[in-house]
């Protein structure tokens, strides 16, 4: 299902997880032609999950920062990957097969991989200072510097990233309030069975939650902010961190004739619609997910990594099957390890196994309307997670998982 030819010039735009893993995968699969990896950030490729977790709370030594790099310059040299950093792609001409760059040059491709990811959804509230967002290494460092002051913090957004930052802020010794207009914001991510327990976890650790109320304004400046809520109340903070989702980085493609709709739209083989020799992968791609029966844009590490591997194979060897996602995502919430795999079926059922209070672990197994396992969320229970992944792949009934775990459903 794809053109092959080991001597073609593959240009990859976006030098982060998806882009870097594609470049490495091409060489693993024997691609001998040129590989050019172009990134807007002036940083060797690095991993993002640690930015809200271990790196955020680290000592920020050279060693800590080196630990989040996805690759070294020496490894890139060995693989003969031409990495160009600090230069953004600004346009794409599909007729001449050329990408325009911010430095005024252009780069011609035989095959193009779009891996420009996503950016933090911009904060609607922008006082002169004190409001921060998290997407990059520099953002994480700036947040760590503010948290080290141990002054009051308001986190706007109760999703995974917001709550991970809140947990880090508590660890620094800050007074923390998390605000979200949704009453149980993590329900969308982990389901109602576990979302409530996560809220309790944050409260038990000392975070104040203001859920079900939105922010209408943030005034003042760093060190003296007022966060105004839509119930009329006001919160004082030294720093506000706004984590309200992400937006696909597609601005540079606006004048191309690619189909852009909340991401670069692709076919089931991750090939951009409306042209040839162009793939889109990772957080920027929106593709028809076979399990969901609709187009989705995933914002998960494993998806970006798996899509990179798939496209590297497609370019070098061709692929016969459409891309299928494991739908695997994780989050660290204080000492809890939360994992989600597969999906929840609105027409199906869920079985709760274990008890967080009694056992310190729980699994919620999702079945489709026919009782076949289609997903699960686990907390502190890696064995259950692995079991589910195996049974999901085998298309087994959800009840089998409960039996195999040797536990009675709660």
Q: Which residues bind ligand FAD (CB under 6 A)?
A: 13-19, 38-41, 48-49, 51-52, 88-89, 115-118, 134-135, 161, 249, 252, 282-283, 299-302, 304, 329-331
Q: How far is the CB of 87 from ligand FAD (least distance, A)?
A: 7
Q: How far is the CB of 115 from ligand FAD (least distance, A)?
A: 5
Q: How far is the CB of 165 from ligand FAD (least distance, A)?
A: 8
Closest CB to ligand FAD among residues 227, 253 = 253
Please provide residue 329's backbone torsions phi and psi, each rounded to the nearest 5 degrees: -145, 150
Length of the chain: 410
Contact in structure between 14 and 115 (CB atoms under 8 Å): yes
Closest CB to ligand FAD among residues 162, 348 = 162
Closest CB to ligand FAD among residues 116, 387 = 116
Closest CB to ligand FAD among residues 264, 367 = 264
DSSP class per residue in 360-397: SEEEEEEE-TTSBEEEEEEES-HHHHHHHHHHHHHT-B
Helices first, then strands: H and E counts in the chain: 11, 26
Q: How far apart are CA 29 and CA 10, in angstroms?
A: 13
Q: Residue 334 region, left (φ>0) first, then alpha (ψ -120 to 50), else beta?
A: left
Closest CB to ligand FAD among residues 123, 402 = 123
Q: How far is the CB of 361 from ligand FAD (least distance, A)?
A: 19
Beta-carbon neighbour count of residue 214 at 10 Å? 14
Q: How far apart are CA 145 and CA 239, in angstroms?
A: 11
Closest CB to ligand FAD among residues 79, 228 = 79
Closest CB to ligand FAD among residues 25, 117 = 117
**Taking Cα atoms as reference points, which of 35, 15, 225, 46 lies closest to residue 114?**
15
Closest CB to ligand FAD among residues 151, 299 = 299
- The CA radius of gyration of the chain, in Å to the nearest whole number, is 22
Q: How far is the CB of 157 from ligand FAD (least distance, A)?
A: 12
Q: How far is the CB of 302 from ligand FAD (least distance, A)?
A: 6
| 3-state secondary structure (DSSP) of residue 241 | strand
Q: How far apart are CA 122 and CA 149, in angstroms?
A: 25
**Taking Cα atoms as reference points, which of 80, 79, 51 lies closest to residue 64?**
51
| 3-state secondary structure (DSSP) of residue 176 | strand
Closest CB to ligand FAD among residues 47, 404 = 47
Closest CB to ligand FAD among residues 117, 277 = 117
Q: How far is the CB of 233 from ligand FAD (least distance, A)?
A: 28
Beta bridge partners of 221: 224
Beta strands in 52-134 (DSSP E): 81-85, 89-93, 98-101, 106-108, 111-114, 118-120, 131-132
Q: How far apart are CA 365 and CA 353, in angstroms?
A: 8
Q: How far is the CB of 58 from ligand FAD (least distance, A)?
A: 14
Q: How far is the CB of 174 from ligand FAD (least distance, A)?
A: 18
**Taking Cα atoms as reference points, which of 120, 148, 144 lies closest to residue 133?**
120
Q: How far is the CB of 301 from ligand FAD (least distance, A)?
A: 4
């Amino acid at each position: 299902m794809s053109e092959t030819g080991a001597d073609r010039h593959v240009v990859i735009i976006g030098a982060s997880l998806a882009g870097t893993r594609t470049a490495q995968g091409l060489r693993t699969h024997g691609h001998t032609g040129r590989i050019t990896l172009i990134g807007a950030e002036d940083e060797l490729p690095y991993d993002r999950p640690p930015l809200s977790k271990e790196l955020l709370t680290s000592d920020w030594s050279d060693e800590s920062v080196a630990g989040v790099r996805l690759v070294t310059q020496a490894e890139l040299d060995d693989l003969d990957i031409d990495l160009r950093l600090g230069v953004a792609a600004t346009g794409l001409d599909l007729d001449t097969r050329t990408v325009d760059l911010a430095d005024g040059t252009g780069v011609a491709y035989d095959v193009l991989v779009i891996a420009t990811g996503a950016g933090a959804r911009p904060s609607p509230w922008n006082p002169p200072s004190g409001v921060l967002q998290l997407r990059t290494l520099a953002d994480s460092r700036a947040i760590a510097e503010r948290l080290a002051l141990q002054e009051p913090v308001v986190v706007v957004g109760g999703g995974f990233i917001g709550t991970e930052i809140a947990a880090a802020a508590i660890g620094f010794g800050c007074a923390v309030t998390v605000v979200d207009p949704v009453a149980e914001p993590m329900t969308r991510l982990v389901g109602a069975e576990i979302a409530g327990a996560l809220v309790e976890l944050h409260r038990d650790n000392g975070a104040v939650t203001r859920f079900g109320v939105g922010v209408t304004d943030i005034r003042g400046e760093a060190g003296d902010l007022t966060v105004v809520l839509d119930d009329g109340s006001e919160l004082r903070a030294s720093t506000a961190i706004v984590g309200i989702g992400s937006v696909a980085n597609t601005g540079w493609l606006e004048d191309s004739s690619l189909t852009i709709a909340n991401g670069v739209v692709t076919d089931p083989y991750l090939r951009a619609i409306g042209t040839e020799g162009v793939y889109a992968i990772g957080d920027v791609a929106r593709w028809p997910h076979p399990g969901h029966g609709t187009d989705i844009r995933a914002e998960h590490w494993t998806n970006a990594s798996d899509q990179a591997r798939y496209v590297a194979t497609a370019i070098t060897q061709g692929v016969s099957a459409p891309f299928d996602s494991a739908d695997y995502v994780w989050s660290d919430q204080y000492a809890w390890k939360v994992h989600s795999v597969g999906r929840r079926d609105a027409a199906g059922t869920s079985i709760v196994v274990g008890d967080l209070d009694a056992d310190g672990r729980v699994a919620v197994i999702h079945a489709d309307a026919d009782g076949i396992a289609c997903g699960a969320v686990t907390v502190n229970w890696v064995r259950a997670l692995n079991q589910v992944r195996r049974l999901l792949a085998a298309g087994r009934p959800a009840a089998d998982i409960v039996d195999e775990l040797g536990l009675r459903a709660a």
